[in-house]
Amino acid sequence: MKLDRDGLKDDAVKFHEALDRYGIANGFVIYPGDHTSGVAGRVQDQMMPFFARALAFGG
């Protein structure tokens, strides 16, 4: 889970803590800036590799 410093931070922290309590693997990062700060880098460096690992592509 990745979030910026918008108003969802407190609820996101609670959600992350609940996932941890139930032993559900997750990641949690609050990045600096606003909702679009550094988005191109996050898509390229984090989102695309995640989807490449997590999704099965038929071929």
Contacts of 38 (CB under 8 A, 6+ apart): 31
- Report the length, in residues, of the chain: 59
What tokens were used for 38? 């550094």
Report the C-alpha gap between 14 and 48 in whole angstroms.
26
Q: In this structure, are residues 38 and 31 in contact, taking their beta carbons and an 8 Å threshold?
A: yes
Q: What is the pLDDT of residue 56?
A: 84
pTM, two decimal places: 0.60
Q: What is the pLDDT of residue 2?
A: 58
For each of the chain's 59 residues, which pLDDT tens digit applies?
A: 655 556 778 888 899 999 999 999 998 888 887 778 888 998 999 889 989 988 987 76
Q: In this structure, are residues 12 and 1 in contact, taking their beta carbons and an 8 Å threshold?
A: yes
Q: What is the pLDDT of residue 12?
A: 86
Q: What is the pLDDT of residue 30?
A: 82
Domain borders along the chain are 2-54
Q: What is the pLDDT of residue 41?
A: 92
